[in-house]
Structure 1
Amino acid sequence: MRSTTTRRTVTAGLIGGAILALAIPTMASAHVSVSPDELIAGDHGVLTFSFAHGCENSPTTSLKVSMPEGLASVAPTADSDWTIDIEKGDDGLVSAVTYTAVTPVPNELRGAVSMAVGLDEDAPASLAFPVIQTCVDGSTEWTQLADDGEDPHSLDAPAPVVEVAAASADGHGEHDSAEDAEDADSAGADAADDEAPSNAVGTALGAGGLVAGLAALVVSVLAYRRAA
């Protein structure tokens, strides 16, 4: 009886460690990101919202992006892969944009939609863009906001956020030319680069899960030897 129980414990430890190692990186890296993640008050820019996972691994069918206060204009980018529905508020400004995929986006592929935006001169210090990701099966609401001092990557479903830099007297942001060039390069880079920090966290957490599984195996083997 002890031998059978110990074998079951060993098996459970191995399975648990494997699940943690494989599942945690996926959960940590799955999110909707925005690039660039910083604009200048009173300026214009093109925001790209990207994703690499569906809802519980189900293909993505649509993204609904809600607009925060502080935007003077919104112009979604036409794309043959998506149909676009625009909602406007009583003030005539765009309040939400829904991108519906012509063909559902599989988990193995990265999906992205974009829009041109203009910021008010008095735009707040940060702009949150809540996103509802709808899939063939289920949906995910990326609407959580981090509290002061909280890491956004620790949230289960963080909303994409764009920081707003104050414009200087000459109409440019408070950055020197070297920083502006670096920001421009970052904005043009593939949005997958924005996910690298969370992917790294996911990998580390996955390794931790594997270590936990191995530890359970060692404990189970020792228990088996004592029982024998």
Structure 2
Amino acid sequence: MSFVRRAATVLAAATALTAGLALPALAHVTIQPGSAEQGAFTKVAFRVPNERDDASTVKVEVAFPTDHPLAFVTVKPVPGWDVKVTEGKLPAPVKTEYGDLEEAVTKVVWSGGEIKPGQFQEFEVSMGQLPKDTDTLLFPTTQEYSGGEVVKWADAPKADGTEAEHPAPALKLVPAAATTTAPSASPAAAPAAASPSVAPVAAESSSDGTARLLGGAGLVVGVIGAVLGALGLRRRSA
């Protein structure tokens, strides 16, 4: 019995330790989905969980990259929240497919709402055109609580691959998928592919001809029978 109790205690401790290690990662501000195609337009959501048990999140500020600015940024309204989109002059003009970009969205701020303890909120943004000369875009985010606490999610990824204490939401950019075209059929394969569809048509045509022939013969027999019947009636009457 004591062995069972000890095993249960060890299992409970391991579970608590695992949960304790996993919770911080789950509480990070993230961007969903975490990847998009280079050169495309995309819609993402900044997912903001509330980490505190005694305060609510009342303000979220997301900074947009200026080294790889986005020419088009629109936001989806969130019930109960006010949103302000700020544009600013870039440190240097950036060449895009739409010309030199000198101003772009530098930050988006949501305020006036509330993310209560144990809850999260997603703030959706449509943006583009995504750059083709980088594989990651960082969106440093500031989270403000009702008690006055401010948490900055602005740490860049570590070189050794380990997670930073307060990582900035990151959007991974992947090369655009190559357009695939259906392989053209070879001349030798074309007749073989066509033969199954041609054969039933030929069979159908022959069967139609046979049916028409039998129908015509039946019509002739019917006419002959009618004539003979008429002659028989005349003889009887005579």
TM-score tier, shorter chain, comes to: 0.5 to 0.7
Give 1:35's match in structure 2, choosing from 32, 54, 58: 32
Equivalent residue number for residue 99 of structure 1: 110
Equivalences for residues 6-17 of structure 1 within 5 A:
none
Deviation (angstroms), 1:24: 4.6
Amino acid paired to 2:24: M
Normalising by the residue count of structure 2, what TM-score does the alignment of the two structures yield? Answer: 0.56
Amino acid paired to 2:75: P
2-structure distance, mates of 1:67, 1:33:
14
By relative contact order (CA 8 Å, sep 6+), the higher-ranking structure is: 1
Amino acid paired to 1:160: P
Query: Deviation string for 1:84-115 (max 9, x for gaps)?
Result: 0111111331100001143x211221211110
Equivalences for residues 1-228 of structure 1 within 5 A:
24-55=21-52, 58-68=55-65, 69-70=67-68, 71-90=70-89, 91-102=102-113, 104-137=114-147, 138-151=149-162, 154-167=163-176, 173=177
Query: Deviation string for 1:156-188 (max 9, x for gaps)?
Result: 111110111123xxxxx3598xxxxxxxxxxxx
Amino acid paired to 1:86: V
Query: Deviation string for 1:33-74 (max 9, x for gaps)?
Result: 111111112211111011222357521001100101322221
**Contact kept? 2:41, 2:128, Cα under 8 Å:** yes
Amino acid paired to 1:88: E
**Contact kept? 1:75, 1:115, Cα under 8 Å:** yes
Larger deviation, residues 41-50 vs 119-128:
119-128
Change (3 A) 1:175 1:67: farther
After superposing on structure 2, the runs of 4+ consecutive aligned residues of structure 1 that deviate more than 4 Å are 17-25
**Contact kept? 1:55, 1:133, Cα under 8 Å:** no
Equivalent residue number for residue 187 of structure 1: none
1-structure distance, mates of 2:106, 2:86:
6
Greater C-alpha radius of gyration: 2
Aligned-residue Cα RMSD (Å) equals: 2.8
**Contact kept? 2:158, 2:164, Cα under 8 Å:** no
